[in-house]
A and B are shown apart, each in its own frame.
Chain A
Amino acid sequence: MRSLLSFLLLAVPSALVSATEYHEQLNLRPLPLSALLASFNFRANTSIADFEAQNFRLFPRSLGQILQYAGTRELHLRFTLGRWDAESWGTRPWDGTKEGGTGVELWAWLDAETDQEADEKWLTLTNALSGLFCASLNFIDGTRTIRPVVSFQPEGDHPNTTLDNTRLLHGVLPHEVVCTENLTPFLKMLPCKGKAGIASLLDGHKLFDASFQSMAIDVRPICPSEGECVLQLEQTVDMVLDVDRSKRPHDNPIPRPPPSHDLICDTTKPYHKPDDSCFPVDHLRGQDWTLSQIFGRTMKGTCPLTDPEVPPVCVHIPSTRDIFSAQGAHEIKYPNNDSLRCYHIEQDKEFTLILTKPEAPVDGEVAPLGIVKPETPVLYAERSFTGHGQEHGGMQAILTNPGDDTVEFVYMESLPWFMRVYLHTLSARISASSPNTNTSAEIVKQIYYRPALDRARGTQLELLVSIPPHCTVFLTYDFEKSILRYTEYPPDANRGFDVAAAVITTLEPKAMNIRTTSLLLYLPTPDFSMPYNVIIFTSTTIALAFGGLYNILVRRMVGANEAPPAAIKDKVLGFIEKLKKKKRTVAAVAAGGSAKPATGKTEAK
């Protein structure tokens, strides 16, 4: 896990785990077009002894007590909104380990001897966290909880003895809308509460206007090779801001058309005429911003509790671009990485950062990108529904390996019970253009499947997949849509039902996480409006009445003596009956005095 934090450790080579410490850092990374990735990282350590003695200092008491009460060994909570555009933005921040699927995702290792005990503790945990984070985490019930087998591994250092007695549970709420009410408790858990340091930049208006944002909380025990074990609380906020959108002033956020003299036009076009025709080329213009513009606030010094060794702000940008910082800030450059600049800041001074416009290219020259080129991700993943109609559907995941190494990963789906998966239709098809002709069996190496139980638990599907270099794999399966009970539909039944994102954990060539987008599943929905109920009711009545009336009018009724002579079938049956009767009579006669009942029977006929 620590290797995954290279992103951070690169900047903090000397960061060692000490018993009690706190540090925070903001990484800014301009992305293509007008996107800007801002990664906030806050990390607090507390010794296990202090934690168990309920001696909270940097670790928030509210969370600590919940963890103790619910017997939680390790906790991961994610709030995510929007989607990461891997095609233009490249690799995910923290290799995707600090983001969740759309909505809320929670997984934890709980101290439990049995599954039942784990469920009870899980219920306690979700309900308590629900209150703490103002999120509907209490809706993570049995139908939304799974127990992943291969996808998740503990990140902290657990002694083997405790790990044997823990259970991993994973729950996800894809429909949960993350908003400011979740940010407030998040900020409250920080030692400086968003009043000082980089947290003072976190403004709900900007955070939730971002194209992608993910808030993560990780609690894990860390045992360094020497020294005592500590419990680490790591809080992360990653957001991709749209610079143009963020730069709009707070009091005038409407993107009105700019005055025509502000348009950036391609003047080489023959038809170009100011105030009349303009071919816009503003996308070729590079980014320029100041810290206060894009976050809507200035940064208020540093948090006094933070480790002074760690520079609080870092920018990833080519060394050719000019950045100006506020007075008193001290810029650090790293010889081994010339596209990284970090800033030490004085504690009480406001800090700002100004990225100037890139130099305009000389005519005839291609404008330089002006940003650090995003790294190509190990794997692209996309998932969508196939088919139409209200009865059946299909799922298709398109997984592309753009690199030169074979990628091995675990593909995990947690599906709602009303989506009945036909596992026999699961197939993996490799793109026809690729030279390799692997069969389905070679692509999907292992399947772990736990079928759904109606109204009790959802489907859990984990696949170990490996994709050869430069190949695309189409993973498809079909499913059937269940019909819910009348009362099981939510008030917005026609919206559809959210299906949680698939989680992809790569194992080779490097460990990282990818989550697909969530999906909207339409189920057959009854028409809840009154006229249709009336129509159905009257139609039934008419059908019943018509049946009776039609019978009376059309059926031919005749007296028994007028009945037509019996058909052949009747004759044959009558003959058989006669034979039987004869036999019986013979038997009765043979038996002697018991002939009477037989005769009686005959008479009855």
Chain B
Amino acid sequence: MPRLLSTALSLRRDPRLLKIPPYVSAFCIAIGVVWLLLLPLDDYSRRTYVSENALLPGQVHTYFGGSEQSIFRGFRHEVDLLASKNNYEVNDKLESILTGFGVKVGRQNYTYHSAGEIYSGENVYGILQAPRGDATEAIVLVAAWKSIDEQLNRNGVALVLTLARYFKRWSLWSKDIILLLPPDSTTGTQAWVDAYHDAHDSKHIAPLPLKSGALQGALAIDYPFEHRYHELHIIYDGTNGQLPNLDLINSIVNIAGGQMGIETTVQQMAGHTDSYQDRLQTMLRGMLYQGLGYPTGPHSSFIPYHVDAITLQPTGEGWHDEMAMGRVVEGSFRSLNNLLEHLHQSFFFYLLMQKNRFVSIGTYLPSAMLLAANFTIMAIFLWVKSGQPMAKKGTADKPKDGRNLLSPLALVATCHSISAIPLFIFNHLGIKTLPLAFLLFSVSSTVLPAAFSFLIASLHKPTSQFFQLTKSFSLLILGVSLATLSTLNFSLAFLVGLLASPLTFIQPTKNLVTKAFLAILLILTSPPVIISSAAWTSGVAMSEVLKAASLGWNVWGMYTPIIVWCVWWPAWLIGMTNTLSPISKI
């Protein structure tokens, strides 16, 4: 041990050692990115399998069909008649239909305020009590009146009504079946799920008059069009990038594909050829949705409450009809009905490459961790370096043994505390002022570092130690935050880590060309620029993006804005300040 100690000590004094960390950092970034690109390969991803034996997907014969189709058409006519009615009239009719089957019906009013707009409506839901059950468990079937694309979900709603009538005849249900018909795909389910778990704001959201037991799973149907379809699109991303249990997706893929002969697809990848490119594209799309943390369908609201949920969306032109869809739902409900325990066996953290190929957290996590580690390594390196005596000069000006921590800490704290400003304004301003506010913010975000560097230069004669320490603290916070985040929302951590990676390598320089280059690089990777260019690339108006972000924050409790404004932006601010600062003459 003493020998090891002395070797370590002598190694520590080796000046060559201090040259390594920047390369290690760069290496971490490179490995992190390459790691991600390797994942779609056969050697790194795995085929999916059903882990929970109780599910037995596709093992039952489904009987939905025959004369049920006449009834389905009858209900679809009813839905069509209601198309122009308002929310309450629609719910009156739906309630009367559901009560006719002997389903208990409840209603719930809700109002959300976001970006100066009011989102209100009334949910109607029915509880089909398990014939021999004891109200301890329930599964949910959702059909929003308006589909994800804001169309009338006419087949979806009619199918839910027909299935409810059909399910009522079976005596085998071990769990209650809740039929939820919210007015839209976004806010309605959230209000309902919150109220079901008594986590709602009782000022704006009414409590539920009827309740059943613990929710075991939820399935949403998004089926607005009439023509026959080719495949089923499974939407599985939850709020804040949380995912449903992989077993649920596997079961549906198994039931639809194995039993009904319906193709399934994920992440809008119709015609997936299972090539490396398609796999990579599927994975990157999945990561993008996960990273945004924005709910993708009516199912998304369930997942934060540990209720596994997905949305089924028929797509493409083909020969499958609504009865086949009904049989898929029947088969899935029969599988969920078999569950003895809450879904817990399979994975909750995964990236899907294909409907039947995935990588689990153990395999993909290192890539985000390496990106986060690059910041931490650099932070430690800078801390060590800041403690080293100055190499060149060492007389009066030299800081006395130790570090001057006060001013670097003050700068870092200031930058982090002003990050509350964008977080507040983007989540509280109205839709009319939001684009203007964003523009003003972008400008001030660019000007602020220059102002800071000027202030620092005039107030306090900054030494290189000052810059080393500010950067060290800032990178330390970034590294720790991203490492923590990568276990919660891998994709967000990876994306932010990648976009913030230039921050590792910037430093004050005397060379004006280098300085200008660094400044431009930083401006290009600044949060406002990235957001607006992403919006521009995807063809969405900036105001829409801001409105959606505000809605996400106010309704779903999406934490992406915190990561962007309170983790990434302050780090960028400090990086930019450092770049622009005139280096002291020492």
A385–B211 Cα gap in the complex (Å)? Answer: 9
A493 within 8 A of B: yes
The minimal Cβ–Cβ distance linking A3 to chain B, given in whole angstroms, is: 30
* Contact B8–A278 (Cβ < 8 Å): no
Main secondary structure of the interface of A (DSSP, over half): loop
Closest to B344 in A: A494
**A569 touches B (CB below 8 Å):** no
Other 11 A-B pairs with CB < 8 A, given A83-B135, A518-B136 = A83-B134, A211-B131, A262-B67, A277-B77, A279-B74, A388-B306, A396-B198, A496-B214, A520-B214, A552-B5, A552-B9
Known interface pairs A82-B132, A257-B63, A494-B344. Does A245 touch B71 (Cβ–Cβ under 8 Å)? no
Identify which of residues 86-116 in chain B touch chain A, using a CB-to-CB cut-off of 8 Å: 100-102, 104
What is the chain B residue whose CB lies nearest that of A279? B74
12 intermolecular pairs with C-beta atoms under 8 Å apart:
A87-B104, A210-B132, A260-B67, A277-B73, A279-B74, A280-B100, A283-B101, A283-B102, A493-B341, A520-B213, A552-B9, A553-B12
A301 to chain B, nearest CB (A): 30
User: Which of A51-59, A268-276, A318-326, A572-580 faces chain B?
Assistant: A268-276
**Chain B: which residue is nearest A103 at the CB level?**
B134
* Bound CA span A386–B198, Å: 6
Query: A83 to B129, alpha carbons, bound, how many Å?
Result: 9
A387 contacts chain B at the CB level, 8 A cutoff: yes
Chain A residues with CB under 8 Å of B344's CB are 494, 525, 527
Residues of A within 8 A of B135 (CB): 83, 517-518
Write the chain B residue with the least CB distance to A87. B104
For the complex of A and B, list the 9 residue pairs with the smallest distance between their C-beta atoms, beginning with the closest: A255-B169, A494-B341, A386-B198, A257-B66, A520-B136, A260-B67, A277-B73, A517-B135, A279-B74
Within 8 A of B (CB), among A460-494: 492-494
Asked whether any CB of chain B lies closer than 8 Å to the CB of A88, the reply is yes
Report Cα–Cα, A29/B77, bound state, in Å. 37
For residues 274 through 302 of chain A, which have their beta carbon under 8 Å from a beta carbon of chain B?
A: 275-281, 283
Instruction: Tell me, yes or no, whether B401 is within 8 Å of chain A by CB.
Output: yes
What is the number of residues of chain A that contact chain B, defined by CB distance less than 8 Å? 65
Q: Is the C-beta of A256 less than 8 angstroms from some C-beta in chain B?
A: yes
Task: Flag whether B64 is at the interface (Cβ < 8 A).
Answer: yes
The answer to whether A278 and B73 touch across the interface, beta carbons within 8 angstroms, is yes
Residues of B in contact (CB 8 Å), total: 51
> Quick check: is B258 within 8 A (CB to CB) of the other chain?
no
Task: Please state if B67 and A257 are interface contacts (CB–CB under 8 Å).
Answer: yes
Chain A positions 185-220 with a Cβ under 8 Å from a chain B Cβ: 208-211
Point out the residues of chain B lying under 8 angstroms from A102, CB to CB. Answer: 134
Q: Which of A140-187 contact B (CB under 8 A)?
A: none
Q: Which residues of B contact A517 (CB under 8 A)?
A: 134-136, 213
| Complex CA distance for A216 and B401, rounded to whole angstroms | 86
Q: How far is the CA of A278 from the CA of B101 in the complex (A)?
A: 15
Are A384 and B211 in contact, CB atoms less than 8 angstroms apart?
Answer: yes
Give the complex CA separation of A525 and B74 in angstroms.
Answer: 47
Contacts of B316 in A (CB 8 A): none
Contact across chains for A280 and B129 when beta carbons are under 8 A apart: no
Q: Which of A255, A276, A518, A557 contacts B70 (CB 8 A)?
A: A276
Q: Is the CB of B73 within 8 A of A387?
A: no
Query: Taking the complex as formed, is A442 at the interface, i.e. its CB lies under 8 A from any CB of chain B?
Result: no
* Alpha-carbon gap, A85 to B306, bound state (A): 29
B65 in the interface (beta carbon within 8 A):
yes
**Other-chain contact of B68, A82, A257, A386, A492 (Cβ < 8 Å):** A257
Option from B5, B63, B66 in Cβ contact (under 8 Å) with A254:
B63
User: Is A81 located at the chain interface by the 8 A CB criterion?
Assistant: yes
Q: In chain B, what residue has the closest Cβ to A522? A: B214
Q: Are A277 and B70 in contact (CB under 8 A)?
A: yes
A519 within 8 A of B: yes
Candidate in A208, A210, A387, A388 with the most chain B CB atoms within 10 angstroms: A388
CB distance from B383 to the nearest CB of A (A): 9
A387 CA / B211 CA spacing, docked (Å):
13
A394 vs B340: C-alpha distance when bound (angstroms): 24
B165 at the interface (CB under 8 A from A): yes
Q: Counting CB contacts under 8 A, is A258 at the interface?
A: yes
Q: Is A564 an interface residue (CB 8 A)?
A: yes
Decide if A557 touches B101 in the complex (CB within 8 Å): no
List B15-69 residues whose CB lies under 8 Å from chain A.
63-68
| Chain A residues closer than 8 Å to B169, beta-carbon distance | 244-245, 255
Residues of A within 8 Å of B68, CB to CB, are: 257
Are the C-beta atoms of A519 and B63 separated by less than 8 Å? no
Least CB distance from B380 to A in Å reads 8
**Which B-chain residue is minimally distant from A281 (CB atoms)?**
B100
Which of A209, A260, A518, A525 makes the CB contact (< 8 A) with B171? A209
